[in-house]
Every structure is written in C-alpha cells, then in structure tokens.
Amino acid sequence: MMDGFEIVLSTDRTMMSNHHGKEFLGFMATGPAIGVPEKLWEYIAAPKVKVDSLGRPREAPYGMRKVEAKLLEAGYKAAIIDPDHLHKHLKTMKILMIGHHDYFAYGPPSSEWWSITGKEPINRVSFKKFMNSPAVRKAKEKGVKIIAGGPAAWQWLWELELWQKWGVDTIIDGEVERVIVDLVEKALNDEPLPDYIYVGPQDSPSIEEIPVIKAPSVNGLVEIMRGCPRGCKFCSVTLRPLRFMPLEKIREEIRVNLRGGIKGVILHSEDVLLYGADGVKPRPEPLLKLHDMVAKEVGEKGDIAWAHASLAAIKYAEDNYKLVSRLMNEYILNDHRKFLGVEVGIETLSVRLAKIIMPAKAAPYPAEQWPDIVEDAFKIMHENKIIPAATLILGLPEEKPEDVAITAEMLDRLRPYRSLIVPMFFVPMGALKKNKWFIRDKLTPEHVEVMMKTLEHSVYWAEDIINKFYLKEPYLLPVRLGLKIFLAYVKRKVKKLRPQLEALLRK
Ligand code: SF4
C-alpha cells in the first residue's frame, strides 16, 4: 500500500470522463439538458471513468496529465484522482490542484447555450457541485491549499465571490510547466501564495521542459505542437510561441496510452497540418512521417483523430501535394477507421469581416479568397471522409448586418458537404454572471437566418453521420438511441423554430 498523495489533482465529472470514447459527445456537457432527461444527458456527455483502488482514473484530461508528470519528475507524490474518490486522500493531501477548460461555462459554446435557454449548462452545475462536495470542503477545512489552472483559469476573475467562498488560494493562467514546481514548493512550505499568476509568452516552456505524460490521457490525446502563427484577434493561443514536439516524444506518449488500454490517438494541435510546416505552408515530409508512425503504433484497429486543422492548410496541402488524400488513404482510412473527425474554424464568410478579425486565417492565400478556401476545403474533406465540426462566430463587435447576410447566403455552398456547423455568439464576459445577457435580445434577422441554416445543415448531416459512421459499436447502442431521441426532438423543434424566432424578433 502506498503512503498516499500529498498533491492531488482533480476536477468535476464533465472533465473526468472519456465521453464513451467519443470526444465529440463531451460537447453536450456545455449545454443544459434539452429534449431528454438531465440524467440521460449527463450519461451521454460524461459517463464515469474506470478507476483503480486508489481512485486514479484509467484516463484523465491531458493538461492535468502534463502537470502530474511535471510534479512526479520533480519527486513529489502526486496523482490525479477521480472526483468520487477524493475522500480516500484527505489524510495525506496538502495541495488540491484543479484543472478545467470551462469552469463556469463562460467559454463557447456554453455561454451561447446558457444565454439562449436561460439555464445553467451542465458543466457549470457539475463544477459547482464538485467544489461544494464534502471531500473538497473537508480538504479546505483541513488547510489543504487549492490551486486552480487550465485553459479556463481566466474565468475565475469573473467569479470573485466563489473564488473567495471556496477558498481557492491561487489561480494560475497560462502554460505552467516552467513555474508549477516553485509554486508547489511554496505551498508545501506554507509560504504565502500569490492570488493570481499569469504565465506570459516569455515564460512559455521549451520542448525540453515539457514532460511526457506518465499515464493515459482521455481518448489518447497527445500534443504534437503548441501555439499558432495565424494571429486571429479573438484568440489567445496565438500569443504563444510555436513549438513542434519531436516524433520521439509523441511516440512515447502514444505508447503510454496504448499500454494503459487506450485504443487510439487524437493528435492535438491548433492546426495539425502545420506540424513541421514552413510558416503557414504545410510540408509533406513531417506530416507523412508523423502519420506513418501513428498508424504503426496504433495498428489497424486503433482510432486516429485530429483535434483541429485550418481550412487554408487543408486546401494548400491538397492542392500542392495531394497531401490530405495521401494521409487519409495511406495511413488513416481502413476497414476499421472509416472517417476522421476534426474541428475547423470558419468564423465568418464575409471577406470584409475576415480581414478585420482574422487577416491571416486564409494565409498563404489572400484574405479575399476566404469563402472559396472554405468551400474548397470542405469539398476536399468530404471527398476524403474527413468530418469537420466547424464554428461560426456571430455578434462580434466589428460585425455589420451585411457580413451576417453574406455568411447566411454562402452557407448554401457548404450544404453538399458532410459536416456539422455550429454558430457561436460572441458573449461579453461577465455579462452572463447575473444571467442578464440573452442572445435573443441581440438577434438580428440575419443572425436568425444563419442560425436556422446551420441548424438545418447540422441536423441533416448528423443523421447521415450517425447512420453511416458514428457510434456503431454495439456497447454504444444506448448512447446512439439517446442521441437519436435528441435529434428527433431537434428536428421537430427546427420546424417550429423559424416562425417562433421571427415572432420574437418582431416584438
Ligand atoms: S487559427 Fe485558430 S488557433 Fe490560430 S489564431 Fe486563429 S483561432 Fe487561434
């Protein structure tokens, strides 16, 4: 029996879940239960994970695995513990570290769901439940230091009361590898801790300072690079320097996952096709080598997915090197892997607005070609069985009604291509706190048109995707049924929704 852990890392159920092995289902936790009972919704979005006798989950969020690895390498007794098993470590715990990518549902698309429905999204409800749980409260009473971080660390600045009420000692915002050991040392020595640490780009860790994870990440996610060179106005990733993980490191992490029983790999990057690229121009060699290695490691039956790719890189890679088809046909598609899922950002189809908010999104092509790049990339993906979940941003301060009207019109050009398109409303931070900001108060007829078109597009293709590609495994039958019930509900609603929304607008 081990002595116990002095540093425990944990989070709420919406994060500590493998979402049935289907990353995309995790998105359901960003909304309140719609059309199905809350329990069924939670079950679809965030089922419990397998744990060992100490409550260590078989797989855990990647970012938390990185912190755990850093602390283990520094010699601390640290472990990620499932939220249902925290009580087992109250005797030894001195620091509780918490990570999240959307603590309070202020990120997209949670904030949109929240402001459309007026109901708190499941992820927010679940995180509050976690912080109010007897184990976390007991830990605090015993003097355990609480440190919270992760990509949503900034959200605490909008929840000062909860920050104080729950006794969170330090919030750490940014890439933590270079600074976390010092902070932990201070906490263990009972030295005063800073309330908030912002880790700027100058403190971004080098490749050597980024450790290899020691235990599996959720659905086999591994990071292949950090940063993004495109500089979109609404995005913080872009401030960070671009770093490519060496193949050896990526391979090591894949092996950690496979040894831990995870059957696949999600290659994580803001733009997978820029791995080893020359600026924003994808290069065949690094990508072919990467995919060759990944395919060999996971074997015929292992899943492969990309986290994100940019539409310009998809077009450039295919037009210049037939690279997308090569990657798909030579390494990815087979009898077991029938499609590849990826997130992509359209954001707007208006050239005027694209030039203002994301001037380099189309690079190396000129921004004027953005709508054509989007369509060409969608066509390339459709022909190569890549299924994108694409985002659009509505309501940006720089937006004019004509930008939205153009986007609505252009969406027709994307209809033939298998994809999900999700509109996200730009919600001013903090406005949701008192639940006063409702999308319907800000909607213009052009927004309604875009929202209806994306909904109709996504429902149409979601049925096709479920019927042909997704959730085919027999053990996922209940999830499949749950989703079908949800889709049937959405379809009924869509029919009624357009006149309702138009009526709302006339009020
Ligand atoms: S392309 Fe994506 S990751 Fe890169 S700056 Fe733009 S929004 Fe951010």
Do residues 30 and 49 share a domain? yes
- Round the average pLDDT of the chain to a whole number and report it: 90
Amino acid sitting at position 207: I
Q: For ligand 1, what atom is nearest to the CA of residue 347?
A: 7
CA of 217 to the centre of ligand 1 (A): 24
Do residues 126 and 25 share a domain? yes
Largest CA distance in the chain: 67
Average pLDDT, stretch 266-291?
A: 97
Give the DSSP H/E element, type plus range, for residue 289. helix 284-298
CA of 481 to the centre of ligand 1 (A): 35
Under a CB-based contact definition with an 8 Å cutoff, are residues 379 and 329 in contact? no
Under a CB-based contact definition with an 8 Å cutoff, are residues 232 and 71 in contact? no
Do residues 248 and 287 share a domain? yes
Under a CB-based contact definition with an 8 Å cutoff, are residues 304 and 267 in contact? yes
d(CA 370, CA 100): 33
If one residue of 224, 226, 230 were mutated to test the ligand 1 pocket, choosing by the most ligand atoms within 8 A of its CB, it would be 230
Of 110 and 361, the one with more pLDDT = 361
CA of 230 to the centre of ligand 1 (A): 6
From atom 2 of ligand 1, which residue's Cα is the shortest distance away? 270
Do residues 98 and 71 share a domain? yes
Of 482 and 39, the one with more pLDDT = 39
In a domain? residue 211? no
Query: Helix (H, G, I), strand (E, B), or coil: what is residue 208?
Result: helix
At 456, the pLDDT band (50, 70, 90 cuts) reads confident
Amino acid sitting at position 43: Y
CA of 110 to the centre of ligand 1 (A): 19
In a domain? residue 52? yes
In a domain? residue 93? yes
From atom 8 of ligand 1, which residue's Cα is the shortest distance away? 235
d(CA 433, CA 438): 12
Do residues 107 and 128 share a domain? yes
If one residue of 236, 238, 310, 357 were mutated to test the ligand 1 pocket, choosing by the most ligand atoms within 8 A of its CB, it would be 238
Do residues 345 and 494 share a domain? yes
Of 502 and 342, the one with more pLDDT = 342
Do residues 329 and 349 share a domain? no
Q: For ligand 1, what atom is nearest to the CA of residue 270?
A: 3
CA of 352 to the centre of ligand 1 (A): 18
Output the domain CATH number for residue 329: 3.30.750.210
pLDDT value of residue 106:
87
In a domain? residue 149? yes
Q: For ligand 1, what atom is nearest to the CA of residue 231?
A: 5
Burial of 35 (C-beta count, 10 Å sphere; 0-12/13-18/19+)? middle
Do residues 350 and 432 share a domain? yes
In a domain? residue 456? yes
* 431 pLDDT higher than 70: no
| Domain final position from 278, 309, 338 | 338
In a domain? residue 208? no
* 221 pLDDT higher than 70: yes
Under a CB-based contact definition with an 8 Å cutoff, are residues 362 and 373 in contact? yes
Q: Please give the tally of structural domains in the chain.
A: 3
Scanning the structure block, which residue is given the tokens 């960070």? 240
From atom 3 of ligand 1, which residue's Cα is the shortest distance away? 270
Q: What is the pLDDT of residues 86-98, one digit of tens each?
A: 999 999 999 999 9
Do residues 124 and 154 share a domain? yes
Average pLDDT, stretch 305-320?
A: 97
From atom 1 of ligand 1, which residue's Cα is the shortest distance away? 230
CA of 414 to the centre of ligand 1 (A): 21
Do residues 455 and 436 share a domain? yes
Beta strand ranges found along 33-180 (DSSP E): 78-80, 95-99, 145-149, 170-173
pLDDT value of residue 1:
43
CA of 308 to the centre of ligand 1 (A): 10
Burial of 461 (C-beta count, 10 Å sphere; 0-12/13-18/19+)? middle
| Domain final position from 338, 363, 380 | 338
* 357 pLDDT higher than 50: yes
Do residues 311 and 355 share a domain? no
If one residue of 310, 365, 373 were mutated to test the ligand 1 pocket, choosing by the most ligand atoms within 8 A of its CB, it would be 310
In a domain? residue 1? no
If one residue of 228, 236, 426 were mutated to test the ligand 1 pocket, choosing by the most ligand atoms within 8 A of its CB, it would be 228
* 384 pLDDT higher than 90: yes
- Chain centre to alpha carbon of residue 6: 29
* 127 pLDDT higher than 60: yes
CA of 233 to the centre of ligand 1 (A): 9
Pocket of ligand 1 (CB under 6 A): 228, 230-232, 235, 237-238, 270, 310, 345, 358, 361
Cα 209 to Cα 180, 230, 256, 435: the distances in Å are 12, 25, 19, 41
Output the domain CATH number for residue 423: 3.30.750.200
d(CA 169, CA 179): 16
If one residue of 223, 225, 232, 373 were mutated to test the ligand 1 pocket, choosing by the most ligand atoms within 8 A of its CB, it would be 232
d(CA 82, CA 89): 11
Residue 449 domain boundaries: 341-507
Which residues fall within 8 angstroms of residue 455, CB to CB, at 6 or more apart?
Answer: 490, 494, 497
Q: What is the pLDDT of residues 461-507, one digit of tens each?
A: 988 888 887 666 766 777 767 767 777 777 777 677 677 766 665 66
If one residue of 224, 225, 226, 237 were mutated to test the ligand 1 pocket, choosing by the most ligand atoms within 8 A of its CB, it would be 237
| Domain final position from 323, 338, 353 | 338
In a domain? residue 209? no
pLDDT value of residue 119:
86
Do residues 313 and 375 share a domain? no
CA of 502 to the centre of ligand 1 (A): 33
Q: What is the pLDDT of residues 11-20, one digit of tens each?
A: 999 999 999 8
d(CA 146, CA 171): 9
Q: For ligand 1, what atom is nearest to the CA of residue 236?
A: 8
Q: Is the dihedral of CA 447, 449, 452, 455 positive or negative?
A: negative
Under a CB-based contact definition with an 8 Å cutoff, are residues 18 and 50 in contact? no
Cα-trace Rg, the chain: 22
* 25 pLDDT higher than 90: no
Under a CB-based contact definition with an 8 Å cutoff, are residues 273 and 314 in contact? yes
